[in-house]
Chain A
Amino acid sequence: MGHDLLTVGVNTAVMLLSLFLLIISLRERKVLTSADAWRRMMSDESHIQKIFLLFSLSLLTYLISESAELMSDISPSISLFSIHHYGEGVHMFFALGALILAVQILRNMLEEGK
């Protein structure tokens, strides 16, 4: 039950944060695609790498989780559903980390652009 609550919490946070970032990105399209904003973003390349590292980890855990679900579907005698459930939680947790880092970059791009 606690695990479920945590997963729901993480998923809600990811959904709201990504929705917020999507709206901001669409509203500030011109600033974000300008050459100046690009240069500001690229001033810290390691930050972008960290985001992609977190997304890679997120996708890898997702891959493991989905493979576990698939295995459980193919042969019902092997129950790997717990891996699937925990994997999904961890996968969204990494995605949330990546989004928090992305917020920092976006804020930097928008603040200096004003």
Chain B
Amino acid sequence: MTVEMTSAIILLHYTIVLLALILSIGVINIYYFVDHYFIEENRHEIYSLWLAGMIALVIHSSAHLIEHLTSMVNVYHILELLSLIIAAIAMLTITRDAFTIYSFKKTRKDLEKRISDRTKELEALNNELLKEIKERKKIEETLKERVEELEKWQKLTVGREQKMAELKETIRDLQKKIKEQ
């Protein structure tokens, strides 16, 4: 085997390993987040993925059969690579679509969370304000009561002063009368 041929085979195997890695990550990702990918709006894309997967499997198994039953190594490698490319393209397409839907859902969820947080904050603020208004009303009532009490006291004090002045006047009159007598 020539050096160029060996290098080409190594490069081919590198590509195959890379594609297999991408596919493995993609499938494991779908396995864990199956509810993100399998949504009704995505059903046509899932169907396409399914078809692509089946085509890839037919080609892939044929490639293995050719490897085991014949000596057409080149055909085997080409078919294997082809099957992996089909599967990888389908996987990347579905992953991209799912990520778009997932990010849209995430943004909506974030917004809903922000709205809910803000509503809670506003409710708390509203409750605080209501509490403050209640307290102020209570203080106002107390102040009113105090003012009333003070007014009462003032009236009482002013009345007493007046009475005292009248009494003093009377005493003075009486003293005057006594002196005149």
Contacts and interface: CB of A to CB of B under 8 A. Distances in A.
Interface of A: 4, 7-8, 11-12, 14-15, 18-19, 21-22, 25-26, 29, 32-33, 35, 38-39, 42, 45, 48-49, 52-53, 55-56, 59-60, 62-63, 66-67, 69-70, 73-74, 88, 92, 95, 99
Nearest to B13: A70
A25 to B, nearest CB: 6
A38 B62 CA distance: 31
Contact of A63 (B21, B43, B55, B69): B21
Nearest to B55: A22
Most buried by B among A19, A29, A49, A52: A52
B61 A73 contact: no
Contacts of A48: 34, 38
Contact of B38 (A14, A45, A74): A45
Q: State the main secondary structure of chain A at its contact with B.
A: helix
Given A8-B68, A45-B38, A70-B10, A25 B20 contact: no
Interface residues of B, number: 35
B104 interface: no
A88 B30 CA distance: 23
Contacts of B51: 22, 25-26
B40 A19 contact: no
Contacts of B10: 70, 73-74
Contacts of B55: 22
B17 A56 contact: no
Contacts of B27: 52, 55-56, 59
Nearest to B69: A8
A33 B43 contact: yes
B82 to A, nearest CB: 15
